[in-house]
Every structure is written in C-alpha cells, then in structure tokens.
A = this chain, B = another copy of it.
Amino acid sequence: MYFRHIYEDGLAQASYVIGCQASGEAIVIDPRRDIDVYLDVAEKEGLRIRYVTETHIHADFLSGARELAAATGAELLLSDEGGSDWRYQFPHRGLRGGEVIELGNLQLTILHTPGHTPEHISFLLTDTPASPHPLMLFTGDYVFVGDVGRPDLLEEAAHMQGTKEPAARTMFRSLRLFRELPDFVQVWPGHGAGSACGKALGAVPSSTVGYEKLSNWALQIEDDDRFVRELLSGQPEPPPYFARMKKLNKEGPGILGSLPHPTRLALTRFHQLWQDGVLIVDTRDKLAFAGGHVPGSLNIQDTRSFSTWAGWMLSEDQPFVLIADERRIDDLSRALIRIGLDDVAGYLPNLRQWTQMGNPLTVLAQITAPELYARLRSNEVQVIDVRAHSEYIESHIPGAIHIHAGHLVHHLDEIPRHKPVVINCLGGYRSSVAASYLQAQGFTQVINLTGGIRSWWAERYPVETGDEVSAMPA
C-alpha cells in the first residue's frame, strides 16, 4: 500500500493519496484545486488515479475534486447522504454509509458521520494483504486531533438560522460510531492547527482512535446538552467567503484546465488601474509596508496566512492587483485559486520604478510598547484590538476596544477619526491588514503597535518570556 499525507499550510488543509501498488491504482481524498501535486505523486509512484473523492462539501476552500477527475479521467465518488439539500449538483457516483470502495487490495468502507455537515462521510481503510483489521480512518471535519468539526458554519457563515444546535446534537450521535472503532486505528483528519473549521485543533497531523478517546475533550463528555453547549462556545469567527465556497463546491467549481498566471503589469498600466480605483494588495513584509506603500493599498503579507486573509478581505467581485516578487507569484496565485479568487488583474514586482518615477508613498506610523504605555496614561490614543474575540477575552491592553480585523468593514463608525488609533494584534500580521484597511478608508491617524500584544506583554511582564507564545497566526 502507498500512502501520502499532503498538507497545505495556508489553509491547514490535508488531502490524501492512497494507492495499491499491486494494481497500480490510487484514490485521492479531499484534493485541493491546484492539482499538480497529485499528478506528481502519481508520476513518481507509477500509479494511475482511478478515484477522486471527498469527505464533505467544504466551506473553507474550493474543492479540486472535479479538476482532478477531469485531468485524469478518474471517477468522482461523492456522498449522497444528508438529504436532497446536500446533494452535489454535478455528475458523480454517489456514496452511502456502509458501501465499500475496492481499490486493488485495499478497501475503503464509507461511514456516514454527519454533524459538521449533513452529508459528511469518513473512510475506514483496510489493507487486506497486511491485516483484516482496519488501518486508518480519514475523518475530514468529523474528528480532528483534539477536537471535532464545528457544526455552526452553516448558521454563522451561510446564515441558515437555527441549524447549529441540531447539527451539534447530530455530531454527538455521530461520535458514538467513533467510540466503537478499535483503539489502534490511525486517525487522519482534514485539517490541522490554524483552520477555522474547529476551535482547538492540534498541530499534530494524525492521532489514533484510542488516544482521542482518552484526550479529545469532545469524547470526554457523556451528556448531550453539555456537549452541545461546549461545542458551540468559543468557535472562531468564520470568514465571509465560507458561504460562497460552500455554494460553489455543491454546484461544482469551474474547471481551470491549467493554473492561471497573473500578468506582470507595466508601471503605466498599474498606475492606471490604481487611478481607476482597483484595489492594490501589497504582499510585502509589514516592515516594508510601514516604511512606504502605495496610497490606499492593503497589506496582506506573503506568509502562510495569506489565503486566510485574502479570503477575509477580498472578494471575487472586486478586481485587485498584487504587489509581489516575481518568484512568489506562482505560489500566491495558487493560494488565491484555492479559495476561488481566480482573476488577479495583474501584478507589479516591486515599488522601485513606482518610487523612482516620483509617485506618492504613504507611511504607516509605528509605535512601540513603551511609547504606547506612556501615551495611554495621558489618554491620547485609542487602542483597537483586531484579534479573534476569544483572544481578546483572554487578555488585552487596558482600554482597548475589540473589532475583529475581518469585521472592520461593519464597524467603521465605532472608530475615532480625529484621534490617533493604535491597532494591535498578537504579532503584527493582522494589525497591518487592519491598519492598511483603515488608511484606505480615509483614517489619517492610524498607528501600528510594532510587535503586537506580544511586545506589550514582553514590556509589562519581562520575566515570563516565551510563555505567552501560542500557535495562533500572528
């Protein structure tokens, strides 16, 4: 048996290639949209991709299942569970709980595991030549390492009122199935730490049934109501693009055929687009952005958080161009198509020519923790904390008000226009997104807290270095 865990850092998303070397065939579970990684594996391992499947209708990324099936001639196997509202609306062979996919010497038994979504299925894999016992369970967004899938996305992101509590109860029932599996079965979920699909996902890629039974909070609770209460509390804010992904994944995402390559823009063209009001997304380092940027541009740094914040701040209806190093365009373009942003209007490789030609640059003022401390005492500034609500609740700078960076659009009138506002997050990524957004909205006294609340903590509590570091995105 061949097995490969393919992890996409930006969305903390896992896909799997499982192959039978005896028959030379493979199946891919939950492929992403830039599918060359699977063609590569198939080529190197001498396998033919015969089936493409997925655990559920994803909300956090655009599925590559259709793309991969089209490119390889593989058969699309998709869940027909969950009722007619949750049926994939494009050609596929339907799967139901209890069915078995045969792949050479391998067997994948379908388990219907609703809760995160009604049609959600999991795959229990048996490698028959090695053992009649099951080897692995591919859980998608059913059971994560240390957590279970959140049942509230439909309500929070797709605004289907009244769905989250019933879904949480469904999840409780689904977990019974998990408890019945042997301890030794490996658990390979659809996400790792940092995904918005669960609140407490661990950074370890896989677990076992037995270990989860002992350690996963959701499997420690025997009481139905308490489970529902705990599951629904403290979930991170889902980005607005989730609703759109869900819809597209159900209807069938468009097939790309080949990866798009954004056009490099001549400066005159870029200048024209900027004057026409096309959004400039500046992917440079936050320090460089602070040092000088094109007026009105948005800073979404080119780190693993790029997809997520592109998902929060951009939409397919609003054209935008990138400022990004030529060698990074391919990766950034992939990050964007994974969430359905296929049409980048072009890119400018850097700001050298822009500056040299005498075009304007805006600075983003910085403040350090000690300076902030001094100015807070004289009540000169307003701090805005743009982290997740749960982070704010745990600890924040005195007097700070909380507005999630991705929700600023709805709260602009709560922000003072005639007083300096200091934006903070944990380490500076999100505050740079937020501060640049506010500058673009006409706020003229925006200041970024250099180093985020981490530097504040370091300043206020200098001894306890290290303790406060978390796995949250900066």
Contacts and interface: CB of A to CB of B under 8 A. Distances in A.
A393 interface: no
A411 B366 CA distance: 32
A455 B39 CA distance: 25
Contacts of A210: 182-184, 208, 210
A415 interface: no
A463 interface: no
A427 B303 CA distance: 30
Given A2-B203, A356-B46, A269 B72 contact: yes
Contact of A465 (B287, B351, B358): B358
Contacts of A159: none
B267 A42 contact: yes
A374 interface: no
A103 to B, nearest CB: 13
A259 to B, nearest CB: 6
B469 A21 contact: yes
Contact of A291 (B46, B290, B466): B290
A266 interface: yes
Contact of A73 (B272, B284, B287): B272
A409 to B, nearest CB: 26
A329 B226 CA distance: 56
Contacts of A303: 352
Contacts of A284: 285, 288
Q: Could you say which interface size class chain A belongs to?
A: 35 or more
Contact of A257 (B213, B263, B292, B351): B263
Contacts of A185: 208, 211
A204 to B, nearest CB: 5
A49 interface: yes
Given A73-B268, A267-B48, A288-B284, A361 B215 contact: no
A354 to B, nearest CB: 10
A36 to B, nearest CB: 6
A2 B470 CA distance: 11
Contacts of A36: 264
A470 B21 contact: yes
Contacts of A21: 203, 469-471
A135 B288 contact: no
A156 B37 CA distance: 40
Identical copies in the complex: 4
A158 interface: no
Contact of A131 (B74, B131, B211, B286): B211
Residue among A184, A204, A263 facing the most chain B CB atoms (10 A cut-off): A184
B356 A427 contact: yes
Given A48-B268, A204-B1, A267-B48, A22 B467 contact: yes
B24 A215 contact: no
Contact of A48 (B204, B292, B357): B357
Contacts of A352: 43-44, 46, 303
A473 to B, nearest CB: 12
Nearest to A349: B43
B327 A458 contact: no
A356 B133 CA distance: 31
Contact of A366 (B259, B291, B469): B291
15 contacts: A39-B266, A46-B356, A127-B204, A133-B211, A135-B207, A185-B208, A186-B186, A208-B208, A286-B291, A287-B361, A289-B291, A290-B292, A291-B291, A356-B427, A363-B366
Interface of A: 1-3, 5, 21-24, 36, 39, 42-44, 46, 48-49, 71-74, 127, 130-131, 133, 135, 146, 182-186, 202-211, 213-215, 257-259, 261-269, 272, 284-292, 303-304, 327, 349-353, 355-358, 361, 363, 366, 427-428, 450-451, 454-455, 458, 465-467, 469-471, 474
Which 5 residue pairs across A and B have the least CB separation, nearest first?
Answer: A184-B210, A287-B291, A288-B288, A131-B215, A258-B263
